[in-house]
Homo-oligomer: A and B are copies of this chain.
Amino acid sequence: MAEITTVSPLAPEHFPELPLIEGVKFAAVEAGIKYAGRKDVMLAELVPGTTMAGVFTKSATRSAAVLDCQDKIGQDSDAGAAILVNAGNANAFTGKNGVSSVKAVTEAVSACVGLPEARVFTSSTGVIGEPLPHDRITGKLEELKGKLSANAIGDAAEAIRTTDTFAKGAMRSVSIGGQTVKIAGIAKGSGMIAPDMATMLVYIFTDAKIARADLQELVSSLNEVTFNAITVDSDTSTSDTLLMAATGASGVAVDRDETAFKGALHEVMRELAHLVVRDGEGATKFVEINISGAASAEDARAHAMAIANSPLVKTAIAGEDPNWGRIVMAIGKSGARADRDLLSIRFGDTLVAENGWVAPSYKEEDGATYMQGQEIAINVDLGLGTATDTVWTCDLTHGYITINADYRS
């Protein structure tokens, strides 16, 4: 396995100060699942009255833990809840053993923290196809329970990392009717990142009081414009999971139409999604692709993803080459409607191409200078309609090859 010794150049300076979310406690321990000398299992315990929502990978080969979570997530319950996550082993494509490992872990967590099994959610991330040494997890449950603490969310964020070069967290506070509601989330993911969903684990906590169905509706709709709008390498994990828990401990009731809450949750989810891209394997540039003037929303997304996933576009960005011809190529191959002579392309604010050719005002050196930045915006107007979309990706570098030609994930 390649040693990941350096932090992504796109990483934030430090892990954010996350607020305490009343009603949830965290613990993380070293269980030796695969890695030595680091925390690799986290537990979150949630108070009775917590509502849960989630979105999951659409992979046809999804893991046993994902299937188990999907079975449970739509059920109402007055009990508390627990989330247990291990890094180092994805417990994916492990046949019947995969199912029995999930059962062993959820039964043990259920017994340890005194919750119905239906309220124990697990995730596993790491190597595919190797049996999960679940006894290393269950053997640590008492230690985890003993360490549960309201202010250990940072430890949890550390414990869920695999090839991540930094731990990822985001928070917002929002005032609703004069009272404060807090949202805090953590995420992992840096490769095998593409929609439906990215190779990610995401856990978001709030002290708002919200019905399960409303929480699910908010999470599902915001997921489309956040985690499903990022791609690192077009590959999709078998294990992607986003779980959101609302403890209700603030006493502040919200619903799906509470715009302040929705806005804050949107920001937390987008920030976490961006952090995953910023930790894209080998990434040196953060790239935003804005599509406007598309004939439909589906077309807008197809064009955006064709550009974001094009190896030739991504290597050009890595090389700081303002190669707008490759953007034209990607639009052409997307399968969505485009008219060569109506589309325009901008690098940031600089008009590069329009009317089927390079813009008369465009100077190659302006494009080259722009591409030297660490944050790149590619803005494409199709000139066909009114649909828009935005997705985020990173460049494709030698670092990606180095990490993935050696790392057995």
Interface residues in chain A, defined as those with a beta carbon under 8 Å from any beta carbon in chain B: 57, 59-62, 90, 92-98, 127-130, 191-192, 194, 196, 233-238, 309-312, 315-316, 318-319, 321, 323-326, 328-334, 336-341, 353, 355-358, 396-398, 400-402, 404-406, 408-409
Q: Contact at B356–A234, with CB atoms within 8 Å?
A: no
Whose C-beta in chain B lies nearest to the C-beta of A337? B60
Q: Which residues of B contact A90 (CB under 8 A)?
A: 325
The 8 closest A-B pairs by CB, nearest first: A128-B325, A319-B405, A95-B357, A61-B332, A59-B332, A236-B333, A315-B404, A95-B356
Q: Contact at A61–B329, with CB atoms within 8 Å?
A: yes
Q: Contact at A328–B404, with CB atoms within 8 Å?
A: no
Q: Which residues of B contact A196 (CB under 8 A)?
A: 333
Total copies of this chain within the assembly:
2
Q: How far is the CA of A192 from the CA of B329 in the complex (A)?
A: 9
Q: Taking chain A's interface residues, is the majority helix, strand, or loop, or is none over half, making it mixed?
A: loop
Q: How far is the CA of A155 from the CA of B401 in the complex (A)?
A: 36
Q: How far is the CA of A128 from the CA of B333 in the complex (A)?
A: 15
Q: Contact at B329–A236, with CB atoms within 8 Å?
A: yes
Q: Contact at B404–A129, with CB atoms within 8 Å?
A: no
Q: Contact at B408–A323, with CB atoms within 8 Å?
A: yes
Q: Contact at A404–B61, with CB atoms within 8 Å?
A: no
Q: Contact at A401–B235, with CB atoms within 8 Å?
A: no
Beyond A60-B337, A318-B401, A338-B60, whether A235 also contacts B356 by CB under 8 A is no
Q: Contact at A93–B328, with CB atoms within 8 Å?
A: yes
Q: Contact at A358–B129, with CB atoms within 8 Å?
A: yes
Q: How far is the CA of A406 from the CA of B355 in the complex (A)?
A: 27
Q: Contact at B96–A333, with CB atoms within 8 Å?
A: no
Beyond A61-B331, A128-B325, whether A405 also contacts B316 by CB under 8 A is yes
Taking each of A97, A191, A192, which has the highest tally of chain B beta carbons within 10 Å of its own beta carbon? A192
Whose C-beta in chain B lies nearest to the C-beta of A330? B235
Q: Which residues of B contact A332 (CB under 8 A)?
A: 57, 59-62, 236, 238
Partner of A325, one of B57, B129, B353: B129
A96 to chain B, nearest CB (A): 7
Q: Which residues of B contact A315 (CB under 8 A)?
A: 400-401, 404-405
Q: How far is the CA of A30 from the CA of B259 in the complex (A)?
A: 66
